[in-house]
Amino acid sequence: MDKTHRLLDLKYWRQVCKLSSSSKSSRSNLNHKNPKSDQKNEQTGQNFFSYLFLSIPVTTFGLGVWQIKRRNEKINLIKSLEERMNIDPVNLPIKIQDLETFIKENEYRPFRVKGHFLNSKEALLTTRFDVTLENKLPGGYLITPFVLSEDKNMIILINRGFIPYTDFSESVRSKFRINDQVELAGFLRSDEPKCRLSHLNKPPNEWHIRNIRELSEELGTEPIFLDQVRPFGLPSEPIPTQTQVDLKNDHLNYIFTWFGLSLTSLLIWLKIFSKILP
């Protein structure tokens, strides 16, 4: 009988030991992470940041291609405007329904007008330099209202050309004045773009920016501005032909910038995420 009890006790403790060992094994599995799972998670994170970083060279490369397109468009626009300046002048329409659209569609086109100057309402647009390089001194443009002979009520603005600062005084400027009726051709212009370094206009005597609306309101004219094309052949007169196609074209700088960033970021990506480079 005692022997039977001892056998039962021995089986009981063996079973307890098995259960205890199984429990420890389970706790050990819970406390230790699976190395393969850790490696997989780490690889997923690396792939995510790899693709995220790769978007930088791809995006900047696309911006570089876009700037090439924009540069070609700007070059073609400048070329078309320069060609427009070489066409024969036509008479300026007297009645213009939509002046803003008319100027936008015809800027740099030469128009022919006939009439006389209102010399008493001259204005100087300063500080300027002679784009023809005939005169090296700084100076300004002589802006004079012009009454059209076809319609005495229509007065426009004429940029007669460059005069040096030594001719700014009223007494000296009087030698440039024309009192007779004349016919001239001029390039149609729009407002001058402002920049941070530009001085502001201070009517009625200080003009620095070609703000046509502001000039026309002060001088009592229509907001139409022509750059005189040719001189009249007088002994003393401003230097005309001060018109240049002044569209900004910085796209080449942007092209180098974006492609440079694309190449640099691609090399960094290869260094960090690829086995191509050591």
Tell me what pLDDT residue 30 has: 44
User: Mean pLDDT per segment of 10 residues, for the chain of length 278 residues?
Assistant: 51 55 50 54 63 87 92 88 92 93 95 96 93 92 97 96 95 93 96 81 91 96 97 94 83 91 89 62
Q: In this structure, what token pair is assigned to residue 166?
A: 């030594």
Tell me what pLDDT residue 110 has: 97
SS (H, E, C) the chain: CHHHHHHHHHHHHHHHHHHHHHHHHHHHHHHCCCHHHHHHHHHHHHHHHHHHHHHHHHHHHHHHHHHHHHHHHHHHHHHHHHHHHCCCCEECCCCCCCHHHHHHHHCCCEEEEEEEECHHHCEEEEEECCCCCCCCCCEEEEEEEEEECCCCCCEEEEEEEEEEHHHCCHHHHHHHCCCCCEEEEEEEECCCCCCCCCCCCECCCEECCCCHHHHHHHHCCCCCEEEECCCCCCCCCCECCCCCCCCCCCHHHHHHHHHHHHHHHHHHHHHHHCCCCC
Q: Minimal CA–CA distance to 189: which of 246, 127, 122, 232? A: 246
Tell me what pLDDT residue 277 has: 44
Q: In this structure, what token pair is assigned to residue 140?
A: 């300004």
Tell me what pLDDT residue 162 has: 97
Tell me what pLDDT residue 272 has: 80
Tell me what pLDDT residue 43 has: 57
